[in-house]
Amino acid sequence: MLERDPQARKVAMEAGNKASTKALKEGLSHDEATKVAQEAMLYVLRQYKPATVTLEKGLESVMQIRDQFVDKENEKNNIFTMEYEINDFPQQARSRALGKEFTQSILDMTGCKVVAKGQYFDYNRKPGPGQRRMYLYIEGASKQEVANAYKEIKRFMEEASISSNSLANQTV
């Protein structure tokens, strides 16, 4: 454990140094002070709880708590939301979904606002802490409105993907 966790090593060394210094001041021999230091180090290590949360996991946990809080507050205020990830769709389909014309058509059809959030990441690249893959954030006054907007966005993205793939095949 001491090789893998520098904090554990630090805690153990501090306990050993403190115990051996105290033992020597009390008049114990060098060998006795060494034994007291070893016992103190073992005691501290048995009590030691390593930090198993990495920065990335901690940030992810904080983001989830924030999202849950926002969802609860939105429900109190009769604001309903959903997300639709568009990161892995073809670039032409994403561009069309991000256009003002498309978001306005969703607003007209369903009464829901659609906002692009996150950023584009290649399929093999993982977002860093606090980053999200590109998605559409859908917000409306009822669950039904939001569900309708989600279905329409899904339909649009699937059709736009098919048409952009067929265009790519024609140019090859």
Which sequence spans correspond to the domains of the chain?
Answer: 6-47, 58-171
| Long-range contacts at 89-96 (CB < 8 A, ≥ 24 apart) | 89/157, 89/160, 89/161, 90/160, 90/161, 90/164, 90/165, 90/168, 91/164, 92/160, 92/163, 92/164, 92/167, 93/157, 93/160, 93/161, 93/164, 94/120, 94/134, 96/156, 96/160
Whole-angstrom distance, CA of residue 102 vs CA of residue 152: 11
pLDDT of residue 24: 86
What 3-state DSSP class applies to 84? strand
Least confident segment among 64-68, 77-81, 148-152, 162-166: 162-166
Whole-angstrom distance, CA of residue 108 vs CA of residue 17: 72
Whole-angstrom distance, CA of residue 103 vs CA of residue 107: 6
pLDDT of residue 51: 62
pLDDT of residue 3: 62
pLDDT of residue 105: 96
Whole-angstrom distance, CA of residue 71 vs CA of residue 81: 8
R_g (Cα) of the chain, nearest Å: 29
Q: What percent of the chain has pLDDT over 90?
A: 47
Contact 49, 36 (CB under 8 A): no
Per-residue pLDDT tens digits for 24-61: 899 988 888 889 889 988 888 888 776 655 667 777 77
Query: In the β-sheet with 80-85, what is the strand arrangement from edge to edge?
Result: 80-85, 135-140, 113-117
Report H helices in the chain.
6-25, 30-47, 55-76, 91-98, 100-110, 143-171
At residue 134, does pLDDT exceed 80? yes
CATH number at 58-171: 3.30.1370.10
